[in-house]
Amino acid sequence: MEVFVQQLINGLTLGSIYGLIAIGYTMVFGIIGMVNFAHGDVFMLSAFVALIAFLVVTAWLGIGSIALALFIVMIVAMLVTALWGWTIERVAYRPLRGSFRLAPLISAIGMSIFLSNFVQVAQGARNKPIPPMVQDVIVLWTGPTGYTVALSYKQIIIMAVTAVLLTIFWYVVQKTSLGRAQRACEQDRKMAALLGIDVDRTISLTFVIGAALAAVAGTMYLLYYGVVSFADGFVPGVKAFTAAVLGGIGSLPGAVLGGLIIGLIETMWSAYFSIEYKDVAAFSILAIVLIFMPSGILGRPEVEKV
């Protein structure tokens, strides 16, 4: 029981991170129907930006307050990564509208390879550890066998930040004119353009928002694990994509739900079955979901148009 509750907490934390990345996949797929394969590497890049920003803030500027430092780091990571997201869309995806169907995916794979190797060349191939930022834990209760269920401050921060950002994001998509434009483009890009919506700008902003949320995930990832390497984009990216598909690609609540489910499955699998095969589990879920329920839990089934 104690183990289960502990894993539940860990799984939800991990799931929040996956959910934040998954939103980037699902929004882009919803609006232009492409799998943004480079999104996982954007996430990795943002973790590096956060790492460097953290070092600057603590070592050079000497800001002692962890809360303030974390806040600054997150804002910097969001801004820089948003710029990266914008540039990537501009350079690698926008010229491909109207090209053949696989072109954006191939371009995205190229971008993904470029990004991970760019970070490797620019920052070196070694793991980059930082001293733990937040260490305190709250012990919830101790079981009869002496196993303690603990909720760390890190986990609280991650879940709280995720919840706050998702609320803001939800508000943007549902209530603002940008959100309306986005949903219109999602339904029918041509009609939206005829009604005076700047489709290119809307798509750009979608990438910017997706990258900014990935940057939050990157900062949280750094906070949680305290280490990042250039190869860290691939597997979390695939898992987040799995989350997006599982929740129903194109559906925003679906992405978060899928993220939480994937996070839970991963931690439970590691705890109860085998930790070696946890990535096999993730990839298997991806394959199974795509093959047997491609419209996911909350998604609309795709109608084949001739």
Partner 1 sequence: MTTRTGAGPAGSDLAAALKDGALGALVMLGLSVPIILLRTDQSQANELILRPRIGLVLIFCALIFILRFTLSYYGVKWRTSRRIKAQGEALPAVAGARPTWKARLSSLALPAFLGIAVTYPLLAVIANGGLDPSRYWIDLGILILTYVMLGWGLNIVVGLAGLLDLGYVAFYAVGAYSYALLATKFGLSFWICLPLAGILAAFWGMLLGFPVLRLRGDYLAIVTLAFGEIIRLVLINWVDVTGGAAGIYSIPRASFFGIPFTAGEGGFAATFGLEFSGMHRIVFFYYLILVLALVTNFVTMRLKRLPVGRAWEALREDEIACRSLGINTTSTKLTAFAIGAMFGGFAGSFFAVRQGFISPESFNFLESAIILAIVVLGGMGSQVGVAIAAVVLVGGPELLRNLGFMRAALGDSFDPNEFRLLLFGLGMVAMMVWRPRGLISHRDPSVVLKEKKAISGSLVKEGHG
Is 60 a binder of partner 1 (CB under 8 A)? yes
Is 18 a binder of partner 1 (CB under 8 A)? no
Q: 51, 128 in Cβ contact below 8 A?
A: yes
Q: What minimum distance in Å lies between the beta carbon of 47 and partner 1?
A: 11
Q: What angle do CA 2, 258, 276 make, to 5 degrees?
A: 60
Is 22 a binder of partner 1 (CB under 8 A)? no
What is the rounded CA–CA span in Å between residue 124 and residue 70? 24
Is 56 a binder of partner 1 (CB under 8 A)? yes
Pick one of 175, 277, 300, 301: the residue that binds partner 1 (CB under 8 A): 277
Q: What minimum distance in Å lies between the beta carbon of 96 and partner 1?
A: 6
Is 290 a binder of partner 1 (CB under 8 A)? yes
Nearer to partner 1, 20 or 282 (CB): 282
Written as six digits, the tokens of 71 are: 């806040």
Would you call 191 exposed, middle or buried from its count of C-beta atoms within 10 A (0-12, 13-18, 19+)? exposed
> How many residues in the chain?
306
Is 279 a binder of partner 1 (CB under 8 A)? yes
Q: 64, 232 in Cβ contact below 8 A?
A: no
Q: DSSP per residue over 168-184, as a string?
A: HHHHHHHHSHHHHHHHH
Q: What minimum distance in Å lies between the beta carbon of 158 and partner 1?
A: 22
Helix or strand or coil: residue 142? strand
What is the rounded CA–CA span in Å between residue 174 and residue 170? 6
Pick one of 22, 42, 57, 111: the residue that binds partner 1 (CB under 8 A): 111
Pick one of 53, 166, 203, 211: the residue that binds partner 1 (CB under 8 A): 53
Pick one of 101, 136, 139, 196: the residue that binds partner 1 (CB under 8 A): 101
Size of the site for partner 1 (CB under 8 A): 67
**CA dihedral sign of residues 44, 137, 273, 290:** negative
Dihedral angle of Cα 213, 215, 216, 220, to the nearest 10 degrees: 140
Nearer to partner 1, 95 or 143 (CB): 95
Nearer to partner 1, 221 or 241 (CB): 241
Pick one of 147, 170, 225, 283: the residue that binds partner 1 (CB under 8 A): 283
Pick one of 121, 160, 164, 168: the residue that binds partner 1 (CB under 8 A): 121
| The residue to which tokens 């109860």 are assigned | 272
Q: What angle do CA 84, 88, 93 make, to 5 degrees?
A: 160
Contacts to partner 1 from residues 185-244, by CB under 8 A = 234, 238, 241
Which has the closest alpha carbon to 28: 152, 161, 278, 205? 205
Which has the closest alpha carbon to 44: 66, 17, 68? 17
Q: Which stretch binds partner 1 (CB under 8 A): 83-91, 154-162, 182-190, 217-225?
A: 83-91
Binding site for partner 1 (CB under 8 A): 34-35, 45, 48-49, 51-53, 55-56, 59-60, 76, 80, 83-84, 87, 90-92, 95-96, 99-107, 109-115, 117-124, 126, 128-131, 234, 238, 241, 276-277, 279-280, 283-284, 286-287, 290-291, 294, 304, 306
